[in-house]
C-alpha cells in the first residue's frame, strides 16, 4: 500500500463558533481536538463579533497554530454584524485597526461585499466599502505591519480589493477570468470556500437548489482555471458557519477541488502547512485519503534541517516511490 508523507494540513478559513453561535471554553477545546484528529495543525480564524479567535489562541494555541483577525471590519448598516465591528468613516477605521492590533490580531480582515444570496440582485447581498475607503483601510493595516484579507463576492468588488492591496480573497464568487489573471499577476491568493455554500442548499427548495448548483459549478470552473494559470489556492472551509463542521469539512472541501479537475499533487500543495509554519509532525496518507478521511500522524524526526526543508518543498512535486515523498508499506 502506498502512503504519502506530508506536512500537516492548514485550514485557511475557520470560525471558532458552532452554527454561527459562540460556544464554551470546553467547546473550543473540543474543536481543537477535532482539528488535530484530522491532521489540521494550523488554522486561520476569520473573526466573530465576540473575537472567539483570541479566546481560542489562549485555550489551544499551544496545540495548534492559530492566526486570527479577532474581529472583521465591515461597513455599518451592511453585511458583517456577526463577524466583527462596524465602521462608518476613516477615523473609525484607523482607530479600530489600532484597537484590534493591540488585542493581538495577526492580520486584518475586511468585509467588502455581502454573501451569495438567491434573494438579492446578482445573487449578492448588500455590503462593502467604496474603493477609497477600502484603500485607506488597507494602507492603515500596512502602516501597522499587518496583511489584510478580504471577504468579497462579485467581480467589481473583488477587483477593488485587489487594487486596494489585499493579500487574499475570501470566497470570491463570480470572479471573471480577467480578475483571476490579475490575482495571479499581483500574487493575491484565493480561499474559495465551496463546501460551505453547498451546505446552504440544505435550507433551500428544489428550484433554488438548482440555481445554487449552477453557481457552485461555475465557481468550480473558476477554481480550476485559477489553479491552471498559477493563482495560489488556499483550502478554507468556513467551518463554524451553519452546517459546516470543524475538521471533517476540510475533506469535503478537498473533494470539491478534486471534482473541479485539480490533480492530487496540486491539492496537497494547497492543503499543507507552509514551510515557515511547519511543526515537525508529518501526516501519512493513503492515495484515497480524501474519500476515506483516514489520517495517520507521526512525529518522525528527520536527520537534519535540510531534510525537513526538502520534504516540505516536495509537497508540490509528488512522485513515485524513492523520490522522498511516497512510501511503500506492508
Q: Which residues carry out catalysis?
A: 109, 238
Question: How would you label 40-57 residue by residue, b for 16+ Cβ within 10 Å and e otherwise?
Answer: bbbbbbbbbbebbbbbbb
- Crossing angle for the helix pair 249-259 and 206-229, to the nearest 10 degrees: 70
User: Could you count the other beta carbons within 10 Å of the beta carbon of residue 171?
Assistant: 26
Evaluate whether 154 touches 122 at the Cβ level (below 8 Å): yes
DSSP β-ladder status, 84-87 and 108-111? unpaired
For cell 511503500, the residue is: 328
Say how far apart CA 74 and CA 114 lie, in whole Å.
10
Write the DSSP assignment of 166-222 as a string of letters.
-SEEEE-TT--HHHHHHHHHTT-EEE--HHHHHHHGGGS-HHHHHHHHHHHHHHHHH
Evaluate whether 247 touches 35 at the Cβ level (below 8 Å): yes
Say how far apart CA 254 and CA 237 lie, in whole Å.
9
What is the maximum alpha-carbon separation in the chain? 64
Evaluate whether 237 touches 11 at the Cβ level (below 8 Å): yes
Evaluate whether 20 touches 240 at the Cβ level (below 8 Å): yes
Amino acid at each position: 500500500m502506498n502512503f504519502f508523507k506530508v506536512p500537516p494540513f492548514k485550514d485557511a478559513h475557520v470560525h471558532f463558533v458552532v452554527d454561527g453561535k459562540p460556544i464554551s471554553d470546553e467547546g473550543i477545546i473540543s474543536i481543537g481536538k477535532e482539528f488535530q484528529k484530522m491532521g489540521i495543525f494550523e488554522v486561520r480564524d476569520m473573526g466573530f463579533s465576540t473575537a472567539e479567535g483570541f479566546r481560542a489562541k489562549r485555550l489551544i494555541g499551544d496545540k495548534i497554530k492559530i492566526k486570527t483577525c479577532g474581529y472583521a471590519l465591515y461597513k455599518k448598516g451592511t453585511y458583517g454584524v456577526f463577524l466583527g465591528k462596524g465602521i462608518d468613516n476613516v477615523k473609525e477605521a484607523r482607530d479600530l485597526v489600532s484597537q484590534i492590533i493591540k488585542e493581538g490580531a495577526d492580520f486584518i480582515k475586511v468585509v467588502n461585499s455581502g454573501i451569495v444570496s438567491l434573494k438579492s440582485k446578482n445573487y449578492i447581498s448588500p455590503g462593502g466599502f467604496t474603493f477609497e475607503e477600502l484603500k485607506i483601510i488597507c494602507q492603515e493595516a500596512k502602516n501597522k505591519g499587518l496583511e489584510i484579507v478580504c471577504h468579497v463576492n462579485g467581480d467589481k468588488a473583488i477587483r477593488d480589493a485587489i487594487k486596494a492591496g489585499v493579500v487574499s480573497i475570501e470566497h470570491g464568487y463570480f470572479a471573471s477570468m480577467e480578475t483571476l489573471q490579475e490575482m495571479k499577476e499581483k500574487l493575491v491568493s484565493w480561499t474559495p470556500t465551496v463546501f460551505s455554500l453547498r451546505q446552504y442548499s440544505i435550507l433551500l427548495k428544489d428550484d433554488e437548489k438548482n440555481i445554487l448548483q449552477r453557481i457552485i459549478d461555475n465557481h468550480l470552473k473558476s477554481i480550476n482555471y485559477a489553479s491552471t494559470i498559477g493563482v495560489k489556492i488556499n483550502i478554507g472551509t468556513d467551518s463554524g458557519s451553519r452546517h459546516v463542521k470543524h475538521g471533517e469539512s476540510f475533506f469535503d472541501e478537498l473533494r470539491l477541488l478534486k471534482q473541479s479537475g485539480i490533480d492530487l499533487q496540486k491539492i496537497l500543495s494547497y492543503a499543507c502547512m507552509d514551510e515557515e509554519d511547519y511543526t515537525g509532525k508529518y501526516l501519512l496518507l493513503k492515495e484515497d485519503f480524501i474519500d476515506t478521511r483516514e489520517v495517520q500522524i507521526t512525529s518522525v524526526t528527520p536527520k537534519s534541517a535540510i531534510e525537513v526543508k526538502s520534504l516540505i518543498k516536495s509537497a508540490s512535486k509528488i512522485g513515485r516511490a524513492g523520490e522522498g515523498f511516497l512510501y511503500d508499506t506492508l
